[in-house]
């Protein structure tokens, strides 16, 4: 019977040693179980609100590479897109016509200019001058 007590004591001590070793290992690395308690969240940062404003529209600029002496028209009625000033020579002399003027549509250009200043430099005048 003494052997059984010794054997039982060894088993109990061995089991206790393993249990304490396991609890030491698990307590140091055991993950924390999630809780159902709500966690604090940060409020979203306010976003920038853009308010539409009136933005000035820039005026078109004349390309400095355009020929100030003007160019030939594309056809009997049409000037190239960069040269919208129509210049023609009639009984009243050299006259230029700007888009939007009353005689622009019916004018058959002989020369087309990028600006009215270019047309004047080439010897053309505004209608009625």
Q: Which residues pair with 88 in a beta bridge?
A: 95
Tell me the pLDDT tens digit for each residue of 4-32.
555 555 565 566 555 455 555 555 555 55
Q: Is the pTM of this model over 0.75?
A: no
The 10s digit of each residue's pLDDT in 41-72 is 776 676 766 666 666 655 444 676 788 889 99
Domain locations along the chain: 67-129
């Amino acid at each position: 019977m003494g052997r059984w007590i010794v054997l039982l004591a060894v088993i109990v001590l061995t089991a206790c040693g393993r249990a304490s070793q396991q609890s030491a290992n698990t307590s140091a690395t055991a993950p924390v179980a999630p809780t159902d308690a709500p966690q604090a969240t940060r409020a979203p940062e306010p976003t920038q609100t853009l308010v539409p404003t009136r933005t000035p529209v820039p005026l078109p600029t004349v390309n400095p590479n355009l020929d100030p002496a003007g160019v030939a028209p594309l056809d009997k009625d049409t000037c190239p897109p960069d040269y919208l000033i129509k210049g023609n020579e009639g009984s009243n002399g050299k006259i230029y016509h700007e888009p939007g003027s009353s005689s622009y549509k019916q004018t058959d250009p002989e020369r087309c200019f990028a600006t009215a200043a270019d047309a004047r430099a080439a010897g053309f005048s505004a209608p009625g001058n």
